[in-house]
Structure 1
Amino acid sequence: MDRLPWSRFHWMVVVGLGAVWILDGLEVTIVGSMSEALKPNDTGLGLSSFDVGLAGAVYVAGACLGALFFGQLTDRFGRKKLFLITLAVYTVATVLTAFSMTPLWYFACRFLTGAGIGGEYAAINSAIDELIPKKYRGRVDVAINGSFWVGAAGGALLTIPLLDPNMVDPAWGWRVAFGLGAILAVGILVVRRHVPESPRWLFIHGREDEGEDIVRGIEDRVARENGTSLEGVSETITIRQRRTIPLTTIAKTVFTLYPKRTVLCLSLFIGQAFLYNAFFFTYGDTLGEFMGVEQVGWYIAVFAVSNFVGALALSPLFDSIGRVRMLTATYVISGVLLGITGLTLGSYTAVTLTLMGCIIFFFASAGASAAYLTASEVFPMETRALCIAFFYAIGTAAGGIAGPLLFGKLIEDATSGGEGISAIALGYYIGAALMVAGGIVAAFLGVKAEGKSLESIAQPLTAEDDASPSDGGREHQHA
């Protein structure tokens, strides 16, 4: 798998699996923009400002719990089963959201939608890294994670006509917005059905014949599409196959065998989560409360495009310059720029603040995307999905719960006290400090994973130098 040239098969993997980030970006942006539309009793659901905040917290809680729940199942039952199930959960929950009649119904649907998205992160990142050749793994993973901002830009632009009462009835606009996400999800599901199970997962779980059949099929397809013959494989690894691997074994491995990598991933995830809450997730409120912008969709769309361009443009450098240098550079540069923005916050207009945000997140989006790449490739295969889920849950909880509470309070105090935009600079400083700290940690604890197979970065738990059948496992060689 690692020696294969790029082909149409890999594009199918990218489209079928990677498009989930577009859904997440669409979901987050639409919900953020629809808050006011949900407040009226006649056309919305009669939500209060507290209810809107509660719905956001419920979504985050669902994402965290869904990541942990589905992440464990992904390692246990396979990548394909779970990336089909999690997308189905998201689709059904989004459709049900569009039919919400009461706040309680809406909250329940937001929780289930978050659970589906959280599960997607774990299942998809593991599958992508196990199917993409090592030469391209870094750039593909970073670019795919950065595609969140394609959805964010699309969501921002969609809200412009959907929130215009002259174009769409206010009672239907927000419902249509949720329905559009479900339509996109169904399209992704059609493509995703053709993505195979990870041969690596099949092999370790005692289903080597299925794994070999899938690999042969992929090799034949790639050779036929590219018109070339593939070179042979000489490297082997001995695996003691087991149907299930206890969760206690997985946890013990992550925290005792790889403590430095655990600290690295926690630093990266918490830093990027707080950074985005320091700027993006309070961006609409900042423009509206302090700068009098009524239609923030255009500004958010421009900001989102810069994020995706940054991830796309910088992603190849994670394979060429290397993971450690690029993680350090993107985290430190974006953190320093955010700190400078906080110091000069009172001097910006809506346009210049957006421009500064575009520059900051050109670097930050690549770094944040690489945090997912790091968590998915530096731990053993048996723990991959659960590790992604764990670090995603920690980062999301820190940024999605603590962040909004802090920054919402800063904005509220600033507007009620008449202090102006400079009063929210504290949030920028915290985000900046965490990003710079994450970059420094990456410089010392980062893993040089570029161009290496996943098995050489972190040996599978089932790998044996001197295999022993004492636990009922079977010894088998994998090329």
Structure 2
Amino acid sequence: MASGVELGRIETDIPARMDRLPWARWHWLVVIGLGTVWILDGLEVTIVGSMSDALKSTDTGLGLSSSQIGLAGAVYVAGACVGALFFGQLTDRFGRKKLFLVTLGVYIFATVLTAFSMNPMWYFAARFLTGAGIGGEYAAINSAIDELIPAQYRGRVDVVINGSFWIGAAGGALLTIPLLDPTVIDAEWGWRLAFGLGAILGVGVLLVRRHVPESPRWLFIHGREDEGERIVAQIEDGITREKGPLAEVSDTITIRQRKTIGIALIAKTVFTMYPRRTVLCFALFVGQAFLYNAFYFTYGDTLSTFFGVEQTGYYIAIFAASNFIGALALSPLFDTVGRVRMIAGTYILSGVLLAVVGFFLGSVTAVTLTLFGAIIFFFASAGASSAYLTASEVFPMETRALCIAFFYAIGTAVGGITGPLLFGVLIENASGSGDITGIAPGYFLGGALMVIAGVVEIFLGVKAEGQSLESIARPLTADDDAPAPA
């Protein structure tokens, strides 16, 4: 894709007008319409984790082994990586709204395919496509949310929305309890219905999402400033009726408009203009991806294999609730205490706690392991969510969606694919002896990656709280000679 031809130069106050808005009902529309994707992701991951035994059955399931359960998790994440990169560049090129509608459609279609799986290969292929839809959602949604939410609320909103994954996780865990109870629903249909219900929820989200507008910031850069002005004026009119007169703004930015931004320019921006931020995002994504995908994708299998738990849904629901409560409780601190302190603190603390639990695995029960996990991930949840926040706000607007996709894909490929595969193998190797300490190396590695990422944040983190996106990272099309931050 070549760099787009320059369309003209405009001076606009849209960023300042969007950032000075008070919180209003319109912002809740954005949160509900866009943020619910993480609920769907949580539902997907949890259903798979909770129904490992159902999928292993050769009579009513697909005859999967523990290593294949781990492989299914890795395939899902691989699809998410590919989808993020593919749809991420399309999001920067064709707009946020078109892509967050398309990617949700891909998710719904693939989830229905999963429900009709006839054999392991079909199941793996459907999981790959489902992951591709979710990966594309991450790029399209995070970029849209940050461009529509005022600067003073951006940190807490991002952390809570990304943390809402655990609402879906808790719902999915509880949902699988009756669906996997053969006295309630035939075992052959229960796990299929679980996937089908995820598709139904996706259709509901799609109906709400239609009312979320295109990002005005994306519009004015791509030569559609009149449309951007109309959207901002409509938002301001609605908030004025609800909240009263709005403050005047004087800050403007001059933009050299382009139809498209070339991949070469985006790559140059990430690797040469912002090398410190590139290292930072890579460390944050690898740490959280390994921790979550390794531990959570195989958690249900761990409970059933080593502790004989038949209904893992209750345990996973408690674990998931702690994750969301942590993101909700800690999120305001990312805007007040600050990004660097909170990100470094949550990463290092959760990493240290996970490693400590690894030393005591031989003496845990299903209940105490869940309790330890709830405490660790109370902090880890907010930290993991902040990785998406960081990648979304520290690079120029023209590259935002693709940067999110890039770091999600690379970090998740390193941590998110290897994690489930490693844990799947560790569980299978240790299952013969029934000794859970065989999976301790996975805990130690996950803890180490989180601590390393926290230390990187201390030295390379960006103090982005309360700042406009344009001041954190100057747009590539900005018509000024101010030096870009490292």
Query: Shorter-chain TM-score: what band?
Result: over 0.9
Is 1:443 the counterpart of 2:461? The answer is no
Structure 1 residue aligned with 2:139? 122
- Structure 1 segments unaligned to the other structure (5+ residues): 468-479
Is 1:283 the counterpart of 2:291? The answer is no
- Determine helix, strand or coil for the equivalent of 1:136: helix
Structure 1 residue aligned with 2:12? none
Is 1:299 the counterpart of 2:312? The answer is no
CA distance in 2, matches of 1:318, 1:372: 13
CA distance in 2, matches of 1:39, 1:413: 17
Structure 2 residue aligned with 1:206? 223
Measure how far apart 1:48 and its partner are.
4.9
Q: Normalising by the residue count of structure 1, what TM-score does the alignment of the two structures yield?
A: 0.94
Structure 2 residue aligned with 1:195? 212
The amino acid that maps onto 1:343 is: F
The amino acid that maps onto 2:267 is: A
Select 1:29's aligned residue among 37, 46, 50: 46
Measure how far apart 1:393 and its partner are.
0.9
CA distance in 2, matches of 1:61, 1:420: 30
- Determine helix, strand or coil for the equivalent of 1:241: strand
The amino acid that maps onto 1:396 is: T
Structure 2 residue aligned with 1:170? 187
Measure how far apart 1:125 and its partner are.
0.1
Is 1:355 the counterpart of 2:355? The answer is no
Structure 1 residue aligned with 2:256? 240
CA distance in 2, matches of 1:293, 1:161: 15
Select 1:365's aligned residue among 370, 375, 381: 381
Q: Normalising by the residue count of structure 2, what TM-score does the alignment of the two structures yield?
A: 0.93
CA distance in 1, matches of 2:466, 2:32: 23
When residues 431 and 45 of structure 1 are mapped into structure 2, their CA distance, relative to the original with a 3 A threshold, is: closer
Is 1:462 the counterpart of 2:484? The answer is no
CA distance in 1, matches of 2:66, 2:463: 46
Contact 2:80/2:128 (CA < 8 Å) preserved in 1? yes
The amino acid that maps onto 1:124 is: I
Measure how far apart 1:291 and its partner are.
2.0
Alignment of 1:397-436 (within 5 A): 397-416=413-432, 418=433, 420-436=435-451
Identity of aligned residues (%): 78
CA distance in 2, matches of 1:432, 1:245: 39
Alignment of 1:108-187 (within 5 A): 108-187=125-204
CA distance in 1, matches of 2:434, 2:56: 27
CA distance in 1, matches of 2:295, 2:114: 27
Measure how far apart 1:434 and its partner are.
0.8
Contact 2:347/2:454 (CA < 8 Å) preserved in 1? yes
CA distance in 2, matches of 1:352, 1:106: 33
Structure 2 residue aligned with 1:260? 276
Measure how far apart 1:345 and its partner are.
1.8
| Alignment deviations for residues 380-401 of structure 1 (CA, whole Å, 9 cap, x no partner) | 0011000110111122212332
Select 1:63's aligned residue among 66, 72, 80: 80
Measure how far apart 1:47 and its partner are.
4.3
Contact 2:163/2:327 (CA < 8 Å) preserved in 1? yes
When residues 277 and 102 of structure 1 are mapped into structure 2, their CA distance, relative to the original with a 3 A threshold, is: closer
When residues 339 and 183 of structure 1 are mapped into structure 2, their CA distance, relative to the original with a 3 A threshold, is: same
- Determine helix, strand or coil for the equivalent of 1:239: strand
Structure 1 residue aligned with 2:103? 86
The amino acid that maps onto 1:225 is: E
Contact 2:160/2:331 (CA < 8 Å) preserved in 1? yes
Is 1:345 the counterpart of 2:366? The answer is no
Structure 1 residue aligned with 2:6? none
Measure how far apart 1:406 and its partner are.
1.6
Is 1:77 the counterpart of 2:88? The answer is no
Is 1:310 the counterpart of 2:352? The answer is no
CA distance in 2, matches of 1:401, 1:164: 31
- Determine helix, strand or coil for the equivalent of 2:183: coil
- Determine helix, strand or coil for the equivalent of 1:206: coil
Structure 2 residue aligned with 1:336? 352
When residues 10 and 461 of structure 1 are mapped into structure 2, their CA distance, relative to the original with a 3 A threshold, is: same
- Determine helix, strand or coil for the equivalent of 1:238: strand
Measure how far apart 1:293 and its partner are.
1.8
| Alignment deviations for residues 16-36 of structure 1 (CA, whole Å, 9 cap, x no partner) | 000000000000111222333
Structure 1 residue aligned with 2:241? 224
Contact 2:66/2:428 (CA < 8 Å) preserved in 1? no
When residues 275 and 178 of structure 1 are mapped into structure 2, their CA distance, relative to the original with a 3 A threshold, is: same
When residues 50 and 358 of structure 1 are mapped into structure 2, their CA distance, relative to the original with a 3 A threshold, is: closer
When residues 286 and 50 of structure 1 are mapped into structure 2, their CA distance, relative to the original with a 3 A threshold, is: closer
Measure how far apart 1:292 and its partner are.
2.3
CA distance in 2, matches of 1:419, 1:308: 32
| Alignment deviations for residues 160-184 of structure 1 (CA, whole Å, 9 cap, x no partner) | 1111111001121111111110111
When residues 104 and 338 of structure 1 are mapped into structure 2, their CA distance, relative to the original with a 3 A threshold, is: closer
When residues 465 and 112 of structure 1 are mapped into structure 2, their CA distance, relative to the original with a 3 A threshold, is: same
The amino acid that maps onto 2:95 is: G
When residues 276 and 264 of structure 1 are mapped into structure 2, their CA distance, relative to the original with a 3 A threshold, is: same
The amino acid that maps onto 1:99 is: F
Number of aligned positions between the proteins: 465
Measure how far apart 1:122 and its partner are.
0.2
